[in-house]
Amino acid sequence: MICEQRQLSRSLNFGTSTRMPPKASIAEVRAFVAPHGPGAFTKWRAATDALNAVEDKLEIFDRFATIEDEFEPLETMIDGSVSDIDRQIQHEIDVMRRK
């Protein structure tokens, strides 16, 4: 049952690890298609809500691990983007302070 659930969840294809290149051109930014759409969030929410109905702790853990595996590429993209933005803001502050 647990393996079947993991295979089913993976077949839903919540996204890929596609990422916009660093220092992308305006054309690349405009052409970029995010690997996760609003539907992915709906599916993840439904999958996490469904955990409440499962009584077997190992099955809950397995399902949660599957959700985490599917969510990880998006989390990595967001973390990288936030770090890039923070670095750029700090650079602009340093320039203003003449550091």
Write out pLDDT tens, residues 49-78.
999 999 999 999 999 999 999 888 888 888
pLDDT digits (tens, 9 = 90+) for 22-43: 778 888 888 887 778 889 999 9
Residue 20 included in any domain: no
Integer Cα distance of 25 and 30 in angstroms: 9
Residue 54 included in any domain: yes
Residue 27 included in any domain: no
Residue 65 included in any domain: yes
Residue 86 included in any domain: yes
Cβ-contact 10, 68 below 8 angstroms: no
At residue 97, φ and ψ (nearest 5 deg) are: -85, 0
Structural domain that includes position 74: 2-12+38-96
Residue 46 included in any domain: yes
Residue 8 included in any domain: yes
As for how many domains the chain has, the answer is 1
Residue 19 included in any domain: no
